[in-house]
Amino acid sequence: MAMTGFRFSVSCFRFSIFSLFLLALTACGGGGDGGATSSSEIGTLAYVVTECQDSGNLFSEHQSLHILHGDQDVTVMETPEVGPFFPGLGGLCRFRTSLRLGIDSKSREAFQGVRVSPDGAAVVFEVTDDFSINPQLPLHLPPEQKGIFFVRADGSGLRWLGPPSQLPFFFILSNGFTFIQKGFAFSPDGQTVTFADTGPDAAGNDAAQVFTLDVGSGQRRQVTHLPPGVPPPDRPNIPGVIEPVFLDNQTIGFFTDAYGLTPTGNIRPFTVSLSDGTLTAAPIAATLSDSAIDFNFVITGDKPAAIEGNVQGQPQNDLPGGAGRITEVFATDDANLLQLTNFQRVDTGNPIVDVDRQTVYFSASADPFGTNPHENCQIFSVERLGGSLRQLTQFSEAQHSTSGCFFFYPPRVGCAAFIFSQDTRTGALIFYSSCDPLGTNHRGGQVFAMRPDGSELRQLTHTRGLVTQTGGTTIGELPGPFAYGPYVP
């Protein structure tokens, strides 16, 4: 299925909200400096590089998994080259790379899930050739490369933990957009990962379930015995279990459309206890009609969360995938919801809460200070109680962006960015962007790091993007999927 665009969301799930406080934005703007964050302050970045080539009517592609740890960048695994062959679509490499979003490779290539342990000391990843559909490629992985693997942050100790999941870490929506899941999640103590796979329900029928995998012993455990799901009409290919994540060492939160647990065609949040298997329905978010659910789970209360939510009104911009809904950033702590932005746009979101629990970072194409007149995607910060809104970046690519903070194929122009991690020791923000703030990311996408005030911007990956060589051969190279863990002395 040809994909028309992509929106990546890392925002948190909306728990039950009993009160709403609207906040007028008052703050001053800011911007990031160029510079170089010390390599000793960068933790563990695991990232896949997907490189493709168009030569005449022939297409070829291969992948490699890298780990950047301090000054050392090691290659952990390389998969066999696909092709060269004629795939029935001339210029496939150029087409795919022009989206400038490397994590899109999950829908056609071998590396599905990558996750770094909470202490940054280890990486767990999955390789499989079962889910290439966008388009379907003959990956031909050797048996020894299929499965879930463990490796240390320095690239040593690579070992097989078990077979790959029978469920993909992505699904394609009815509008052609692709939703990419993180796939794996570590327990806080770093001893276990959770993920979705198929297993028997209480009646012995195969259905999507929550599993755990001990990273030391490789012991695999089926945690749930859910009945088969009933997918919503707009998500016909959705797996029956979405984004399981550890809420603590003994509790996993997840989303499911399991029949009998949810109304037909609905997706609801649940928790399951590892100690006794108790399944509990989590609170349903109080959202506006036609709101879209974010498949991310957090605990509120003493752990304040940042979420994106819909508000009523006509958006100032409208993009495919935005569905004509205004999205704003909110802070929540259990029963209270505080609106932090009032941009009235469709692409404000992807928020995370700082390790200090007082600041929220997010992406938006708004221009609250007159410093973003071309409506490029920027990274902002705002205090959790609503003050000191700042624009941290000064990304600029198009005379006027027609993509906002979404990833689109040409002819739409502009670049996008989203934060996907923060170093819990140094506070460094780790984000992916198709923008070119340092003049080294033309027609590509890279992983960057910067300080929480937007200073000391550093590019962590150095893939080539889209390059046309003499003679007409096209090379495409992007990073993704990727994951980050904090600094380890």
Domains and CATH numbers, the chain: 5-485 (2.130.10.120)
Q: What pTM was computed for the model?
A: 0.88
Could you tell me the end-to-end alpha-carbon distance of the chain, in angstroms, rounded to an integer?
A: 46
Q: How many helices (H) and strands (E) does the chain have?
A: 1, 34
Residue 172's contacts (CB-CB under 8 Å, 6 or more residues apart) are: 1, 3, 107, 133, 134, 178, 179, 237
Q: Tens digits of per-residue pLDDT, 426-467?
A: 999 999 999 999 999 999 999 999 999 999 999 999 999 999
Length of the chain: 489
Question: What is residue 284's predicted lDDT score, i.e. its pLDDT?
Answer: 58
The Cα-based distances of 92 to 34, 59, 127, 479 in angstroms read 35, 7, 22, 17
Residue 38's contacts (CB-CB under 8 Å, 6 or more residues apart) are: none
Q: Tens digits of per-residue pLDDT, 91-106?
A: 999 999 999 999 999 9
Which candidate, 145, 152, 149, 146, places its Cα nearest to that of 117? Answer: 152
Q: Pick 77 or 307 by higher pLDDT.
A: 77
DSSP string, 251-312: EEEEEE-BBTTB-TT--EEEEEETTT--EEEPPPP---TTPPPP------SSS-EEEEEEES
Q: Which two tokens stand for residue 251?
A: 């509790």
Question: What is residue 12's predicted lDDT score, i.e. its pLDDT?
Answer: 28
Question: What is residue 306's predicted lDDT score, i.e. its pLDDT?
Answer: 86
**CB-based contact 434:100 (threshold 8 Å):** yes
Residue 77's contacts (CB-CB under 8 Å, 6 or more residues apart) are: 64, 65, 127, 145, 149, 158
**300 pLDDT band (50/70/90 cuts)?**
very low
CA distance linking residue 135 with residue 43, whole number of Å: 35
CA distance linking residue 115 with residue 95, whole number of Å: 28
Q: What are phi and psi of 246, to 5 degrees?
A: -75, 125
| Strand positions, DSSP E, 378-464 | 378-383, 390-391, 407-408, 417-422, 429-433, 446-450, 458-459
H/E run at residue 462: none
CA distance linking residue 243 with residue 171, whole number of Å: 12
Per-chain mean pLDDT for the chain: 85
Sheet containing 241-248: give its strands across: 241-248, 251-256, 268-273, 279-281
HSE-CB at 21 with a 13 A cutoff on CA atoms is 13
Answer yes or no: is pLDDT of 9 > 70: no
- ∠ CA 197-219-141, nearest 5°, is 55
**292 pLDDT band (50/70/90 cuts)?**
low
H/E run at residue 95: helix 92-97
**22 pLDDT band (50/70/90 cuts)?**
very low
**CB-based contact 350:362 (threshold 8 Å):** yes
Answer yes or no: is pLDDT of 386 > 70: yes
Say if residue 60 is exposed, middle or buried (CB neighbours under 10 Å; 0-12, 13-18, 19+): middle
**Mean pLDDT lowest for which of 81-85, 300-304, 357-361?**
300-304
In the chain, % helix, strand, coil (3-state, to 5) comes to 5, 40, 55
The rounded percent of the chain whose pLDDT value lies above 70 is 85
Q: Tens digits of per-residue pLDDT, 157-175?
A: 999 999 999 999 888 776 6
